[in-house]
Amino acid sequence: MRRSYVLVTLIGVVFAIAVGLRVRSQFMRPKTELLPQAWPGEQVLSVPVPRDYVAEPVVAPDETTHGPHRIISLAPSMTEIVCALGMRDRLIGRTQYCQHPPDVQSVPQVGALMDTHYTKIKSLLPDLVLTTTDSGPVTDNLRKLGLPCETVPHDSLDEVYIAIEKVGRLCGRPQTAQMLIDAIRADMDSLHVFACSRGMPQRRVLVALGELPVPPRAIFVAGPDSFLDAMVRFAGHQNAASDVLKVSYGEIPLEKLRAVDPEVILQFSLDPQSPVNWAELYQSWSQVGSLRAIDHQQVRVVGGVEWLSAGPRIAICLHRFITVLSEFR
């Protein structure tokens, strides 16, 4: 339960503060995106941008009418899975953190993990309420109200596939779910092969789940077994936090951060589209002490909080990691 509370709390704080080759042809988007050169003089390579399965679902023809008609999701990852299974029109409730696809914001909000609006949820008469496996009392309270509630895992990379399979089964769309899993696995494998083929040096990467607090203090980072840890490894690098953190997500005190001394820092931001004031960013990080990532100016914003969700867009997230990490020679 603590892992979900930590991640959901962090997202809230960031918002507040600042089936095989046949199926593959349907799922791949016909465009490519250029990645930066890895070494001076090297030819620029390109890699396909994975399809956004959440915004562009592909449903097995004989499953288009299957599934519950009134679904409430209490986690962004669950919302994205429901949409990727072609059931966006079945969503009748979501949390304020469920932001993708964009049109899902028209769905009524029913609170979140730590401020669930039980009365509103019950009044919506859902056929299915989806929560995470470690949501604890929320699930218990929903069941006490007699609501049809199911829990789904959402932390690690493997749990993404488990979650898709389970939601697909609950919604009467097992074929669609398997097609989606196969397509995502193929995207992940292709991107991993691409990243490893570039021959770039392996670096120790710290993934900060938010901007460095001012004044500097302990920061939340992605630890081992989290899906963000998998993103770093699939991109061909090491998670620097694995040396000091034994949980999926947690805080690292500044003294431990200095001991970890990452070579690269990737951080998530409230508004990654706005221009970054690099002078201020490095000035802020320099207050932590001497770190190789700061000394060599290897801090980057990898995306916004909408990417802190272990759902069907993980291949796009990996593409972003590879793109950013390719900037470092």
Domain region containing 37: 19-190
Same domain, 280 and 318: yes
Same domain, 116 and 237: no
Q: Does residue 93 lie within any of the structural domains?
A: yes
Which of 172, 157, 156 has its CA nearest to residue 63? 172
Res. 221: pLDDT tops 50? yes
Same domain, 227 and 166: no
Q: Are the C-beta atoms of residues 8 and 97 closer than 8 Å to each other?
A: yes
Q: Which of 186-190, 196-200, 290-294 has the highest mean pLDDT?
A: 186-190
In 113-138, which positions are buried (b, 16+ CB within 10 angstroms) versus exposed (e)?
A: beebbeeebeebebebbbbbbbbbeb
Same domain, 164 and 207: no
Under the banding of pLDDT at 50, 70 and 90, the label for residue 220 is very high
The count of other CB atoms within 10 Å of the CB of residue 23 is: 18
Same domain, 90 and 157: yes
Res. 217: pLDDT tops 90? no
What is the token pair recorded at 261? Answer: 């001394």
Same domain, 174 and 242: no
CA distance 50 to 62: 25
CA distance 70 to 93: 9
Domain boundary among 127, 161, 190: 190
Summarize pLDDT for 94-121 with one digit per residue, the tens: 999 998 999 999 999 998 877 889 999 9
Domain boundary among 144, 169, 190: 190
CATH number, domain at 274?
Answer: 3.40.50.1980
Summarize pLDDT for 301-314 with one digit per residue, the tens: 888 878 888 999 99
pTM: 0.84
Under the banding of pLDDT at 50, 70 and 90, the label for residue 273 is low
Q: What is the DSSP letter of 329?
A: -
| Order of strands across the sheet that contains 71-73 | 91-93, 71-73, 128-132, 149-152
Domain boundary among 168, 190, 212: 190
